[in-house]
Every structure is written in C-alpha cells, then in structure tokens.
Amino acid sequence: MLKGEYMKHTKDNKFLLPKYDISFKTLFKSEESKMVTEGFLKAMLDLPPEKSLGNILVRDTELLPRNEAEKLSILDALFELPDGEKVLVEMQFSRFPEMKARLIHEWARIASGQLARGQDYGDFRRVVSVLISEHDLIGDSLHYIHRYKLFDKKADSLCQ
C-alpha cells in the first residue's frame, strides 16, 4: 500500500497524487481510465470534446537501443491514435537541465522508427511530445502551455 508523499488526504478520502510515476501511469495507462486518457489527449492536441479518438493504443515505453552505442530511453507514456499518430507524454517535476534535449531525443527516436525499408514517406504520421512539469523550461512563466513546430528561420515560416 502506498503511503506518505504519494497520498493526499481529505476528510473522507485518500487520493494518489498524479504527479508521481506510479499514479500517473495508473491514471493514463489502465483500461478503466480510457475516458480520462482520451479527454487529456484531446485537450493536448486541441481537438473538440465531441470528437472521438477511437481506440487509443498504449505502446511499450522502452525505446530499446538499436545498436550498442545508442542510449536506452524509458518513457512515462506513449499512445498511438487510430490514424497512426503517436503522443509521447513525460512528467518531470524535478529540475532536469537537459529536459529539452531529452524530449527532442525521445521525439526523434519515435519519429525515426516509424518507416520501414520500402515504405513511402507519405505513411509518416505526426509525433507529439507532451511535457508536464512544475518548472518553466524557456523562461516564460506567463504561459502554461507552449506549442513548438519545426520552423525555417531563413524563410520565416513553419515547416508543415
């Protein structure tokens, strides 16, 4: 049974705090919480509440090295939507100076692993990384949600 820092006590109930790995993974990766997972993903992807995402698959969270020189990555949650789009969710409440680099690395591993030899580039599906953190990564404490896309500075335009 979990005790101490993982629990929040109220007059009538005890609750697992969702910011800890064990409660986060239970909340988003269990069969019983599919509605919570779908609502969260719709909010993060800016989708209308009435849109159904269909069958959301929970994928393996270990990105195994493809060779002995490559780094092992263990994700908090990885979801695949019916259209093949993948959503990586990380929760990090300790200050982690290399968090931006870690997110880019994990995003790139998921994105680069999508296509097999002979597969068309048109089969590539979007990969979205979501970070939940108590810490501001870019020095802008005025906003709670930041969205990044690939950007061509020279052409001053988004890469679509």
* Full domain range(s) for residue 51: 33-158
Q: Is residue 8 assigned to a domain?
A: no
Return phi, psi of residue 35, to 5°.
Answer: -65, -40
* pLDDT tens-place string over residues 104-152: 888 888 888 888 899 999 999 989 888 887 777 666 666 667 677 777 7
* pLDDT tens-place string over residues 35-88: 888 888 888 888 888 888 888 887 767 777 777 877 777 778 888 888 899 998
Q: Is residue 1 assigned to a domain?
A: no
Q: Which long-range contacts (CB under 8 A, 24 or more apart) does 99-105 make?
A: 99/131, 99/133, 99/135, 99/137, 100/137, 103/129, 103/131, 105/71, 105/73
Contacts of 147 (CB under 8 A, 6+ apart): none
Say how many domains are in the chain: 1
Identify the residue with better confidence: 155 or 140.
155
Q: What is the pLDDT of residue 118?
A: 92
Mean pLDDT to the nearest integer, 95-99? 80
At residue 3, does pLDDT exceed 60? no
Q: What is the pLDDT of residue 120?
A: 92
Q: Is residue 20 assigned to a domain?
A: no
Q: Is residue 150 assigned to a domain?
A: yes
